[in-house]
Amino acid sequence: MIPNDPMPDDILRIAFDLRNTGNTDGDEVPQMYIRDTVASATTPVQLLKGFERVHIQAGKTMRVQFELDIRKELAVLDFEWKWTVEPGEFQIGK
């Protein structure tokens, strides 16, 4: 759950269920991307911020969780050449 007003030293935990709908066991590499929609500086359209290789049995569902350290992963280099966490919105995708 993402807090309504995270502090810059918070850790965000993003979790989702991954299901193998096939008939054989397999490996998957779920990935997490973020997009800063209102940064004061230009940022990439999407940034890979997490991935993990997992083995999932046929027909099973597993929970995958990523953690984001706000201070390290969501900071931007501002116009004064300082790393800062700005208020705003981020889109998280997989």
18-93 has which fold?
Immunoglobulin-like (2.60.40)
User: Please, which pLDDT band fits residue 91 given cuts at 50, 70 and 90?
Assistant: confident
Among the listed residues 20, 14, 16, 19, the one whose alpha carbon sits nearest the alpha carbon of residue 1: 14
C-alpha span between 90 and 10 (Å, rounded): 15
C-alpha span between 90 and 74 (Å, rounded): 9
26-83 tens-digit pLDDT: 999 999 998 888 887 777 888 899 999 999 999 999 999 999 888 888 888 888 888 8
Residue 4's pLDDT is: 52
In single-letter form, the type of residue at position 71 comes to R
Residue 6's pLDDT is: 54
- What are the structural domain ranges in the chain? 18-93
Residue 9's pLDDT is: 61
pTM of the predicted model as reported, rounded to 2 decimal places = 0.74
